[in-house]
Structure 1
């Protein structure tokens, strides 16, 4: 009897242990299901936010197009000879104020230098004008002929360029204000956009150049944002507006949409948001407030393009997902060479922070972004020097240096 009772106790104990084990397994499964539900809800929330952002972006594009068409029509109806005269006088004053720096070209000189605007010399065409390669007194230059009714843009560029000097900002050589022409230094390697796309079968940009280019762009933005007496916001930063010389040294150009700040770090504007879709700060689209963080957002997109060689459309999400899923290497531009993975992840992380939807979540250029990029640039330069030790051709000397006395950029 005792043995039978003891056996029953053991069986009951085993059954109880089995029940407890199954209960524990069920609890674990329930927790997993609950966790998966939370993940699904979070994913759905993010997808909803992205959908809303895409919808707002589409509405914004439509609104901008309609507003721009209305403004152009209104401007055409309002145009008169007296307004044209006032604009011409204003341009003359702007050019005269910086005459010691820029030359005033005649229309005849422009026509002669471009061989009557030969198609063979045309090197670019955009929304605001056409660019020709030309030569003035044995100096190769680029002439931008702005479209009709863009004289205000010429005036704005002259006003801003008369105040800034930086080795990574495109240098204005002169202007012909009567015909809305700007003459810039010529950049042999064209735009960063064309080089990333390897237009005309040009060689890819190696990774260590891309590290340096990211630092150069950031340093130019810091200079613009902290200019005196007024800070300057570019508002249209993108690879098409970043030009490369024969050494792949980058310079930011096309500042016709730039805004000068007052003492505040942001200001409200009454016109429609300007810039290029995919590079426009989402918070700027929503509020109409311009701040240096508008350029920080665009800079983040540009850096992600430097890393991947891909289009700007959805690039931040592509890189973010790749990093989460440990597939970051797959989205990098393999033609740039053997990317150093840890350093490249650090650069991508900085870029993703720059593209946060809210301005307050983005890093400060001076205190956070630039120090990190400077370290990466130094790392890249060491790698470049090491690579050049095996090359039979020494690198060409830089085409500019900073005068230690005047603190201005001098060209060879």
Structure 2
């Protein structure tokens, strides 16, 4: 007997030191936070507390679709249903995390219990019974879990929860308590004000303003009472324990209590009687729980019946509306199918056409490559030069008068290389670069106007076949150009100073280059430019006989308000034999005036004869079949057919009437393109020099000090290799040659120089 009592004492000690479990039924909204905080403030000071956060969510019966429909679980794959359930559980856990953290901050162990059920009260009741939970807290957070009212849910939970559990209901700042009939731990005293959950269950609640008496009376009082009283009190206390705990721990508690009364009671008799009575009371308690549960279900069923009736009417209306919408959707779907069918047919047609076009493109790849290169080159030149022309900043460098005087050795006669009616040209060096300085006569208004005209035009436009303006000294009427080593076309045609003759294929190329530059001037934006003084003396040749038009000072800008693209000039200018006859007769100038002068230049390229009466001579020779007799024999073996085509083109350009002359861009340039290709092939065949030679200086990039691969002109007027100048401009805003700030960073490809470099490399290979 002593061993039994010792085991009973140990069991009681273990139960008194074990943790107490408090369950909180929450929904997870903002109001649930107050329920959790209230429970923490209420129960945490008591000692070892374990919180259970119970959350009931609706039974998953289907999987939603993106269109808003729900597919029953029986109609989806098992893996899809499982994945959806896990997703719902994960989202629910994420929702309850803030409440779990509240408990962990108070160093309270918390377990989260997720229950999938359509009946909140039954689910919570079963969890309370299964876990033998003695304290359950419900609140406003349980409202609306299944769109039910707070009081109905609270009442249902209160009715169906086992009697050994104390229920705390919190709603709108008020606390209602349903005391347990048989509390295990009698040490708790609730001091909050109590409000009954419902009139039907008011008898199950006691006011918390009164202190609760201990569930098991002190043992001193039991010893002082009579035997009948002792037996009744012992049976009552043991009965309360046996109803809820028939395990080995419960038996040990019984033995401890019986040990306290062993002087007056017979142990064997009490054990037999108490276990029988405990079993009977347990059955009665189960029946009472089931009865309260059924009553609660009846109340809920009545309210849900009314709600279901209303929902049924709403669903009926929605069903009719959805039926109408479904018919509309079906009609739209049919239209969409028809549209999709048409789109598929269009796509198939487009695919077949794309395949055909691809095959055609492959067959024409060789010819298209050359054409694309020309188009790309022309487009880039046009875009770059139009962009430069449309700018408002004059793109040239200003030189001081002292620099000009110093470079020309005070305008030494030894450095003079030319003299004209409008000024004198000197060859000199500026900043380690050979240049040509033109000092205009500024005695009259006409010369001053010519200077401003040439400065404005050349500072705004760039073209590989226009003489490049490097800078100017505006105060003294000085213009600084790039130096052209081979002088003017007129001097070379006349073999001045016994210079080498120009071959026929180089003359073909020069004609094409001059036409390209004229077409560029005529198509410049925003207004076209007419040269008005085109002649061989104003066409300069570089080191590789690359031609460039100079002397832009007499040019005229046709303004956009002149719809006839002609300009009335009361004081005709130009050079005799190159002036448009209609311009002399009417004073009206147009782009066709430059076409006339260009025709005369072509005839001089063919014959190397003076311009006076040249058109008549060529016409007579063509009509008499004696064209070869008047061709320049120094040019080599002229190809007869191509030479005849060029002579006829020159004659058509030199027609007396403006309307009989061809259009420069649409009619002249296509013919010259074809003749240039013939000339390029002939020049390539004639390039038989194999001796390695030093590259010309203008082939060398000032930055790399090597032959350029892709020459282009920068805003300072110098030519650089594109990669080198691009890298320079990434880090600098000034010129690498002059160290002066650049007005912009646009680069203009120098295709003429590139062609010369490629020819030199081909000859050297």
With over 3 angstroms needed to count, the CA separation of the structure-2 counterparts of 1:107 and 1:206, relative to structure 1, is: same
Secondary structure of the corresponding residue to residue 490 of structure 2: helix
1:104 maps to 398
- CA drift at 1:206: 0.7
- Count of residue correspondences: 316
Map of 1:330 onto structure 2:
629
| 1:82-101 superposed matches below 5 A | 98-99=393-394, 101=395
Q: Deviations over 1:36-68 (max 9, x none)?
A: xxxxxxxxxxxxxxxxxxxxxxxxxxxxxxxxx
Unaligned runs of 5+ in 1: 1-95
Structure 2 residue aligned with 1:180: 477
Aligned to 2:599: 300
**Whole-angstrom distance in 2 between the partners of 1:238 and 1:365:** 17
CA distance in structure 1 between the partners assigned to 2:594 and 2:617 by the alignment? 21
Matches within 5 A, 1:102-141: 102-141=396-435
2:567 corresponds, among 251, 255, 268, to 268
Give the match for residue 80 of structure 1. Answer: none
Q: Among 217, 235, 247, which residue is 2:544 paired with? A: 247
Provide closer, same or farther for how the CA distance between residues 265 and 203 of structure 1 changes in structure 2, counting only shifts above 3 A.
Answer: farther
Residue-by-residue CA offset, 1:210-231 (whole Å, 9 max, x unaligned): 0000000000000000000010
Contact between 1:133 and 1:143, CA under 8 Å: does it hold in 2?
yes
- Which residue of structure 2 aligns with residue 354 of structure 1? 653
Pairs within 5 Å for 1:21-32: none
Indicate if the aligned counterparts of 1:114 and 1:121 stay in contact, CA closer than 8 A: yes
Contact 2:569 2:589 in 1 (8 A): no
SS of 2:471's partner is strand
Instruction: List per-residue Cα deviations over 1:266-307 (Å, max 9, x = no partner).
Output: 333243111100000001111111100000000000010000
1: distance between equivalents of 2:694 and 2:583?
42
Q: CA deviation at 1:408?
A: 1.4
Deviation by residue 1:224-261 (Cα, 9 ceiling, x = unmatched): 00000010000000000000000000000001010001
Name the TM-score, length of structure 1 as normaliser: 0.73
| Contact 1:218-1:370 within 8 A present in 2 as well | yes
Of 445, 453, 461, the match for 1:164: 461
Give the Å deviation of 1:407: 6.0
SS of the aligned residue for 2:673 comes to: helix
1:215 aligned residue: 512
Counterpart Cα distance in 2 of 1:328 and 1:144:
40
Contact 1:217–1:250 (Cα < 8 Å) also in 2? yes
- Helix, strand or coil for the counterpart of 1:134? strand
Contact 1:230 1:260 in 2 (8 A): yes
1:164 Cα offset (Å): 1.2
Q: CA deviation at 1:159?
A: 1.5
Greater displacement, 386-395 / 174-183: 386-395
> How far does the alpha carbon of each residue in 1:96-151 deviate from its partner, in whole angstroms, 9 at most, with x for none?
9645x311111111110101111111000001000000100110000001112222
Check 1:97–1:142 CA distance in 2 against 1; reply closer, same or farther (3 A cut). farther
| CA deviation map 1:365-384 (0-9, x unaligned) | 11110010011011101000
- The whole-number CA distance in structure 2 between the counterparts of 1:370 and 1:407 is 25
User: In the alignment, is the contact (CA less than 8 A) between 1:130 and 1:144 conserved in 2?
Assistant: yes
TM-score w.r.t. length of structure 2:
0.40
Q: Which has the higher contact order (CA 8 A, sep 6+)?
A: 1
- Secondary structure of the residue aligned to 1:188 is coil
Asked whether the 8 Å contact 2:558–2:567 carries over to 1, the reply is no
Distance 1:336 1:195 in 2: 11
Q: Distance in 2 between matches of 1:115 and 1:282?
A: 44
- The SS at the match of 1:165 is coil
What is the SS of the residue equivalent to 1:162?
helix
In 1, Cα distance between equivalents of 2:693 and 2:651: 36
Aligned-residue offset at 1:396: 5.7
Cα-to-partner distance string for 1:188-229 (whole Å, 9 max, x where unaligned): 000001111111110111111000000000000000000000
Please give the alpha-carbon distance, in whole angstroms, between the structure 2 residues aligned to 1:216 and 1:163: 20
Question: Computing the radius of gyration over CA atoms, which structure comes out larger, 1 or 2?
Answer: 2
Indicate yes or no: 2:492 matched with 1:195.
yes
Cα distance, 1:401 vs. partner?
3.9
Question: In structure 1, what is the equivalent of residue 169 of structure 2?
Answer: none
CA RMSD of aligned residues (A): 2.2
1:284 maps onto 2:583 in alignment: yes
Task: Provide the C-alpha distance between the structure 2 equivalents of 1:300 and 1:336, rounded to a whole number of angstroms.
Answer: 19
Residue 265 of structure 1 and its aligned partner are, at CA, apart by 4.8
1: distance between equivalents of 2:544 and 2:393?
29
Secondary structure in 1 matching 2:460: coil
Partner of 1:45: none
SS, match of residue 160 in structure 1: helix
Q: Which residue of 2 aligns with 1:5?
A: none
CA contact (8 A) 1:247 1:396 kept: no
Aligned equivalent of 1:155: 452
1:393–1:206: structure 2 CA closer, same or farther, 3 Å change rule? farther
* 8 Å CA contact 2:396, 2:470 repeated in 1: yes
Question: Quick one: structure 1 residues 393 and 273, their matched pair in 2 at CA, closer, same or farther if it must change by over 3 Å?
Answer: farther
